Chains A and B, each alone.
Chain A
């Protein structure tokens, strides 16, 4: 698996991309693979605040519940509504179509302090 090199990553297996003031957050290929068939996604409301390092939602597979941790702090500006009716998209396209939320607030410096794709690939090790 290759991880988009414009993204940044966390040890809890979230990714972030930054486009101007808007940061998009999702879970990584590795995270969805570890979880297996995802059947439920719980996301915060638009307008709520999330805090770096704190859980802002959860993803459930058939066999497990996993918290999603905020890589950065900010205010939720948009959520990926389609996931509630089609959570399996998180297994199919975790790095693109199945993003979770968009937030405003993070700075470039905060973004750049997270793991790069190369760091993250080294962190998760060899996978299919």
Chain B
């Protein structure tokens, strides 16, 4: 047996073991990678509904008279444009323009923001924000809140009907990337219409002591709809088909948002923010490399970290690559010279020392029909 004693556990750890999930070390967390099987879980989310334990994700709260100004300074997106009850995706950047993390910003009240951050980055993000706050002296406080939240993601075309069974609040009117604070499965909850699968669905934040009860109630409520627990394996293939970035792969300290094809989360005209000067300079210089999607044409699968060649010469690397269960193709994302990142262009992915042909294709690979 592997030594898992030092790994962190979510409040649903025992539930995963009872479901005979295959557990893996994911950024220091002992997490379920699959239950019934990755492809089965992936397809269940695309066609019906799946339930994910994402309690490893971190939560940070920012509260106070200048909370808005501070979050706006610390992140790339236009926080001033968020309404109360609205969510947006944003980058948390270093001064040099690379990513500290990618995060979801929820506006809870005029003076209160709730940030959902990556599991493996939560301590780093908190320290980064504390550092910015002490340097810039905005009138607000940054609160490390991860211990107070478990998070469950109900994802798939039947997520709404299943979630509605457990909510007195009507969920249909909640628009994509909006949330409500209310009750879910009988306990206080933050119910956000967000997700990391490319499907409709909800991410529900509850207190850790309620997590197991809520988890079991969702599985029971979804039985008729064919709900299945889904692990991090399916979460990864689902997000990759939808071209959603994963920290440490598409984004990281040495990648800026333009290179990651995330121009839409950078609002250079909103006023100063941390990393803005570097991004403005990068924009001025022009983009030398960028993220592009590819499909394998030869036999082989381009995997994370594999080298990419153009015309026989090293040109970049695969950030994420995998078979795509919905598309029945081998797909991936890579960072290559921006001039070459045009659909139709050919690249070679080096699979176990052999160049295998692939073609740049438009992204996202998969988009749900609305």
- Residues of A whose CB lies within 8 Å of any CB of B are 36-37, 39-40, 42, 58, 60-63, 65, 84, 128
* Given A36-B34, A36-B233, A39-B323, also A62-B303 (CB < 8 A): no
Residue B236 lies at the interface, judged by CB distance under 8 Å to chain A: yes
- Whether the pair B37, A36 counts as a contact (CB closer than 8 A) is yes
- Cβ contacts under 8 Å, B22 to chain A: 36
How far is B301's CA from A58's CA once the two chains are assembled, in angstroms?
12
> Closest chain A residue to B354 by CB distance?
A42
Interface string of B229-247 (1 = CB under 8 A from A): 0000100110000000000
How does the 8 Å CB contact mask read for B283-315 relative to A, with 1 for contact and 0 for none? 000000000000000011101000000000000
A62 is contacted by which of B20, B299, B323, B352 (Cβ under 8 Å)? B323
Chain B contacts with A in 92-140, Cβ cutoff 8 A:
none
Given contacts A39-B301, A58-B352, contact A63 B33 (CB under 8 A): yes
Q: Does B39 contact A (CB under 8 A)?
A: yes
Contacts of A84 in B (CB 8 A): 299
Given A62-B322, A62-B323, A62-B325, are A37 and B303 neighbors across the interface (CB < 8 Å)?
Answer: no
Q: B80 to nearest A CB, angstroms?
A: 41
The residue in A36, A58, A84 that gathers the most chain B C-beta atoms within 10 A of its C-beta is A36
Report chain A residues within 8 Å CB of B237. 62-63
CA of A37 to CA of B301, assembled, Å: 14
Q: For the complex formed, measure the closest distance between the CB of B207 and the CB atoms of chain A, giving whole angstroms.
A: 32
B333 within 8 Å of A (CB atoms):
no
- Chain B contacts for A128, CB-based, 8 A: 20
- Whether A65 lies near B303 (C-beta < 8 A) is yes
B residues near A63, Cβ cutoff 8 Å:
33, 38, 233, 236-237, 322
A interface footprint on B25-36 (CB within 8 Å = 1, 0 otherwise): 000000001100
A-facing residues in B37-71 (Cβ within 8 Å): 37-39
Q: Which of B38, B301, B303 contacts A36 (CB 8 A)?
A: B38
Whose C-beta in chain B lies nearest to the C-beta of A84?
B299
Return the CB mask of B340-362 against A: 1 if under 8 Å, else 0: 00000000000010000000000
Q: How far is the CB of B332 from chain A (nearest CB, A)?
A: 13
A36 and B325 CA atoms in complex are apart in Å by 13
Among B20, B33, B39, the residue within 8 A (CB) of A37 is B39
Could you give, for residues 155-194 of chain B, a 1 whenever the CB lies within 8 Å of some chain A CB and a 0 otherwise? 0000000000000000000000000000000000000000
Known contacts A58-B352, A62-B237, A63-B322: A40-B38 contact under CB 8 Å: no
Which residues in B have their C-beta under 8 angstroms from that of A65?
Answer: 301, 303
Cα A39 to Cα B22 in complex, Å, equals 19
- B300 and A62 contacting across the interface, CB-CB below 8 Å: no
Q: Please, which residues of chain B bring their CB within 8 A of the CB of A40?
A: 299-301, 323
B355 CB → nearest A CB, Å: 15
With a cutoff of 8 Å between Cβ atoms, the chain A residues found around residue B233 in the complex are 36, 62-63
A58 to B300, CA, bound (A): 11
Partner of B38, one of A42, A58, A60, A62: A62
With a CB–CB cut-off of 8 A, which chain B residues contact A42?
Answer: 300, 352
Give the nearest-CB partner of A37 in chain B.
Answer: B39
> How far apart are the CA atoms of A128 and B19 in the complex, in Å?
13
The answer to whether B39 and A60 touch across the interface, beta carbons within 8 angstroms, is no
Distance in angstroms between the alpha carbons of A42 and B356 in the assembled complex: 13
Shortest beta-carbon distance from B132 to chain A in Å? 36
Within 8 A of A (CB), among B221-268: 233, 236-237
Given contacts A62-B38, A63-B233, A65-B301, 7 further A-B contacts (CB under 8 A): A36-B22, A36-B38, A37-B37, A40-B323, A62-B237, A63-B33, A65-B303
